[in-house]
Copies of this chain bind each other. A is one copy, B any other.
Amino acid sequence: MVDTLATDVSDARERIKAAASRVFSTKGLDGARMQDIADEARINKAMLHYYFRNKQQLFEMIFEELLTRVFSALEALVADHASFEDRIRAFVSTQITIISEFPAMPLFVLLEARKDPELLSRKFVGKPLDMVRQRFSDMVDREVSSGRIRPVTFDQLFINILSLSVYPVVAEPMIRFVLGMESGAFQSMIENRKTLVADLIIRDLNPFSI
């Protein structure tokens, strides 16, 4: 019981963050009770305030870490030296995987971003967003002008990829209800989409299509 201290310490912090992620993402910022998070992390409620000053700060920490993760997936879209097609395939697959881990996260991120419009800019300071956007934009333009893909605006392409990847995971309850799917069927459907969505996007970019 000597060398466990250090790990215990970070353990508590990490347990809190993991617990907060779960609770926030299912109940939203306002719906989440500090007591819920404490229970989920198996600690005393006062410990939350010991490690994180208050609910808002705890929330912003979770929020920021999530953004960082999503952002790094974005960077993968422009960073490596694979073909355009392979990058899209990788991005779609990564995006679906990340979102599937906490399917309700985009819901509460977007809800909070609507409530507090400054939140995003506050949390994105220091992240090279402009650079990534520029790189992706250039990449698309290059593909277009070389005739490898048909003319598309980078904005709409980006939005299409994101929509097709993220929304189905987020909308699980509605989709399962409307389509009458069991949990297993839904999951394999999502798994299929990792290639299906990329196929659709790439097919759509084919300059000789139709």
Query: Interface on A for B, CB 8 Å cutoff?
Result: 26-31, 104, 106-111, 113-115, 117, 120-121, 124, 129-130, 133, 155-156, 158-160, 162-164, 166-168, 170-175, 177-181, 189, 192-193, 196, 200, 203-204, 206, 208-210
Copies of this chain, complex-wide, total: 2
Chain B contacts of A115 at CB under 8 A?
26-27, 31
Contact pick for A174, options B113, B179, B181, CB 8 Å? B113
A86-B204 Cα distance, complex, nearest whole Å: 20
Contact pick for A204, options B113, B114, B204, CB 8 Å? B204
The A interface, classified by DSSP as helix, strand, loop or mixed, is helix
User: Is B171 a contact of A110 with CB atoms below 8 Å?
Assistant: yes
Chain B contacts of A170 at CB under 8 A?
110, 167
Enumerate the 5 nearest inter-chain pairs by beta-carbon distance, A residue then B residue, closest first.
Answer: A30-B30, A163-B167, A113-B173, A30-B31, A167-B167
How near does chain B come to A40, taking the closest CB pair, in angstroms?
Answer: 15
Chain B contacts of A180 at CB under 8 A?
130, 133
Chain B contacts of A162 at CB under 8 A?
167, 171, 175
Chain B contacts of A171 at CB under 8 A?
106, 110, 162-163, 166
Contact pick for A110, options B129, B173, B193, B204, CB 8 Å? B173
Chain B contacts of A164 at CB under 8 A?
160, 163-164
A30-B29 Cα distance, complex, nearest whole Å: 9
Chain B contacts of A156 at CB under 8 A?
189, 192-193, 196
How near does chain B come to A179, taking the closest CB pair, in angstroms?
Answer: 6
Known contacts A31-B30, A193-B156; decide if A111 and B111 are in contact (CB<8 Å). yes
Known contacts A203-B210, A209-B203; decide if A108 and B109 are in contact (CB<8 Å). no
With both beta carbons as reference points, the residue of chain B lying nearest to A25 in the complex is identified as B114
Known contacts A158-B179, A204-B204, A210-B203; decide if A111 and B120 are in contact (CB<8 Å). no
Chain B contacts of A114 at CB under 8 A?
26, 104, 107, 172-173
A78-B141 Cα distance, complex, nearest whole Å: 39
User: Is B173 a contact of A120 with CB atoms below 8 Å?
Assistant: yes
